[in-house]
Amino acid sequence: MNSPTLIVGLEVHVQLLTESKLFCGCANRFNPDEPNTQTCPVCLGLPGSLPVMNERAFRLALKTGLALNCDISPFTKWDRKQYYYPDLPKGYQISQYDLPFSHDGWLEIDGDGDDGGRRRIGIIRAHLEEDAGKNLHDESGRGGDSRVDLNRAGTPLLEIVSQPDIRSPQEAKRYLEDLKLLLTYLGVSDCNMQEGSLRCDANVNLHVTTDDGKVAATPIVEVKNLNSFRGVEQAVEHEARRQLDEFHRTGRKLGDPGVEKETRGWNADRGVTFAQRGKEEASDYRYFPDPDLAPVTVDEELLETIQDELPEFPAERRARFGTAWGLSNYDAAVIVDQGAVFADYFERVAKTCGDGKQAANWVTQDVLRELNERQLGIADFPIAADLLGRLLAKVVAGELTVKSGREVFAELLARTDRGEDIGGGDIDAIVAEKGLAVVADTGALEVVVERVIANNPNAAEAFRGGKPQAIGKLIGEVMREVKGADAKVVRQMIVERLSR
């Protein structure tokens, strides 16, 4: 029996960045502290209330569909998806069934091969729907009450359904990472998984080639409500092992009598999936057109307007950073994958200092380190891109060493911590105060080199005796006395002096 082929398709639910809900004027924001306060007769499903479509939500959805290379339908309608659950007060969800607004697209990701090739993951459809509320259960084990919070009811969701083109747990994770990055670049969602802005269901099964050469498909399992990229990867990996073990044990396959699709949950603490229920089919939901909402037509003028609003996509930006700024694929990916605002910051720094590699080194090391330590986003970083670019321009021009530049950088941050305003003049003032300007007078350096060698005879003799690491002490002593000295120049001068 050959190794089985893993077949994975992902259904991703993305909360759109709108001020109000999809069909009413209630606030669309995360609010776990004040349950059932962001509600109205429409999202509570009270008799006589009528929904009105949120235009911004539809435009954001169109933007996403275009970015995912989807065909946009000129005519789309709303459908009622009937099912009962305590957090669904109407008894149905307004969604889209047979006429979604976009379909047949694709997202390109890095494949698993060693050749670094790209793979297209097909997009079956992307459609709009409203979210349900949230059930809150007593998990103490004492059988307490369950509560319902309807603040989320009516939140605008975009459901993006992939083709079953994913072939490994790692590809599933990579697809989600690239999709999230694209959505944040588009500005259609914050994709905050902790707040439920991005949720994922994974449809998983195996194609197993048996000893007689036939291919058997294991029953399809939908793993529900995965809320982290690592969780998706682990759940798919576990489910592949579980299904293969079950196939070897029972031989049950898709199409056998009594074999149906199954819905399972994911226990992240135990690292296992668990049975929930049989998988519903479309007929179970009794879809029919919503009589309270008018269909939507999309003309070419609107599509052209939305197309003009699309930003430079992450993959395109990575490629351009390599071409325009001479960055490696790794450096370009690190910068772009931090998000659009971070990539904009890098590019302003690079344009100001004129050296893309120098700018990349500083923003991916010094700036990112400070952001992590201060728990800030790049938009709140106290050193503006233009100011950092001016500092790096001095490093590029040879007026400051990298070490001295970092000392200026640290002092600029310290001044902002004290509540001081900083500008270009501060760079020159700090350089002057600390004596950090590069020392161009080699005569003055020679005097210091001679004195350091005379004061450290053991290190000098050790270097002459074949221990090259001994020169480090001599270099350090010179650099302490002459802060603006270039370490490479100092090293060269010491080597020449000790070689006489």
**What single DSSP character describes residue 470?**
G
**What single DSSP character describes residue 194?**
G
The pLDDT value recorded for residue 443 is 63
The pLDDT value recorded for residue 143 is 64
Bridge partners of 92, per DSSP, are: 82
**Helices and strands in the chain, H and E counts:** 17, 17
CA distance 378 to 35: 32
CA distance 365 to 367: 6
Decide: residue 432, CB within 10 A, 0-12 exposed, 13-18 middle, 19+ buried: exposed
Bridge partners of 434, per DSSP, are: none
The pLDDT value recorded for residue 108 is 95
The residue assigned the tokens 């092992």 is 241
CA distance 156 to 196: 12
Residues of the chain with CATH 1.10.10: 442-498
242's CB contacts (< 8 A; 6+ apart) are: 272, 273
The pLDDT value recorded for residue 35 is 94
Q: How far is CA 280 from the centre of its chain?
A: 31
The two three-digit tokens of residue 206, written as one number: 């195996």
The residue assigned the tokens 């300007």 is 437
β-strands 215-217, 221-226: how paired? unpaired
pTM of this prediction? 0.84
Q: Of 182, 226, 230, 324, whose CA–CA distance to 13 is shortest?
A: 226
The two three-digit tokens of residue 49, written as one number: 């209330």
Level-2 CATH architecture, domain 442-498: Orthogonal Bundle (1.10)
Q: Please, how many CA atoms are within 13 Å of residue 173, restricted to the half-sphere of its CB?
A: 14
The pLDDT value recorded for residue 115 is 57
CA distance 397 to 405: 12
Residue 48 Rama label (left phi>0; alpha psi -120 to 50; beta)? left
Q: Determine the 3-state secondary structure of 68 from DSSP.
A: coil
Answer whether 332's CB lies under 8 Å from 315's CB.
Answer: no
The pLDDT value recorded for residue 244 is 95
Answer whether 171's CB lies under 8 Å from 17's CB.
Answer: no
- In our burial notation (b when 16+ CB lie closer than 10 A, e otherwise), range 108-133 reads ebbbeeeeeeebebebbbbbbbbbbb
> Each residue's pLDDT tens digit in the chain (500 positions)?
568 999 999 999 999 999 999 999 999 999 989 999 999 999 999 999 999 999 999 999 999 999 999 999 999 999 999 998 899 999 999 999 999 999 999 999 988 765 557 899 999 999 999 999 998 877 666 667 889 999 999 999 999 999 999 999 999 999 999 999 999 999 999 999 888 899 999 999 999 998 888 899 999 999 998 989 999 999 999 999 999 999 999 989 888 888 888 999 999 999 999 988 776 666 688 999 999 999 999 999 999 999 999 999 999 999 999 999 999 999 999 999 999 999 999 999 999 999 999 999 999 999 999 999 999 999 999 999 999 999 999 999 988 888 889 999 999 999 999 999 999 899 999 998 988 877 655 666 677 777 878 888 888 888 787 787 878 888 777 777 776 666 777 777 787 777 77
Q: Report angle CA 93, 130, 138 to the nearest 5 degrees.
A: 80
The pLDDT value recorded for residue 463 is 79
Q: What are phi and psi of 304, to 5 degrees?
A: -65, -40
